[in-house]
Amino acid sequence: MTDRSAAAGSGIPHAEALVTFAEAVVGGDELQVATARQVLLDAVGPEALVDAAAVAANFERMDRIADATGIPLDAPMDLLTADLRSELGIDSFASSVNSPASGALKRALAPLLRPLGLRVLKIVARRIARQNAS
């Protein structure tokens, strides 16, 4: 589960209620979803609740489209996530046949390279944001 203090300290209004709702939706427990939905509704109102539900549904939709079309992981993402996919059992899903199998070397390198990869992604994101702002 997500660290609630990190959500609360994020500066995002109602972050804790949003994180709780997102985790409940992904978890699939109907009682947890109903409880989290009500907490979020009380915190943000009906329009923002619909927005939050739409964002969650959109991620599910995109994932299903990627799975259905057989989109393989690109090489950098394959390398950076090899250990996580193995640990979470993601490589056992049927759609994983579209991506090359990750060997022991990739799984060992992934946690070492991930911090560098995340830094590079942040730099690229900042550059794109600056270009879009101009």
| DSSP string computed for the chain | ---HHHHHTT--TTHHHHHHHHHHHHH--HHHHHHHHHHHHHHH-HHHHHHHHHHHHHHHHHHHHHHHHTPPPPHHHHHHHHHHHHHHTGGGSGGGGGSPPP-HHHHHHHHHHHHHHHHHHHHHHHHHHHHHH-
**pLDDT value of position 1:** 44
**pLDDT value of position 5:** 61
One pLDDT digit (tens) per residue for the chain, 134 residues: 445 566 667 788 999 999 999 999 888 789 999 999 999 999 999 999 999 999 988 888 887 787 777 777 777 777 777 777 778 887 777 777 777 666 777 777 777 877 887 788 788 878 888 888 77
**pLDDT value of position 132:** 81
Residue ranges of domains in the chain: 1-69, 73-134
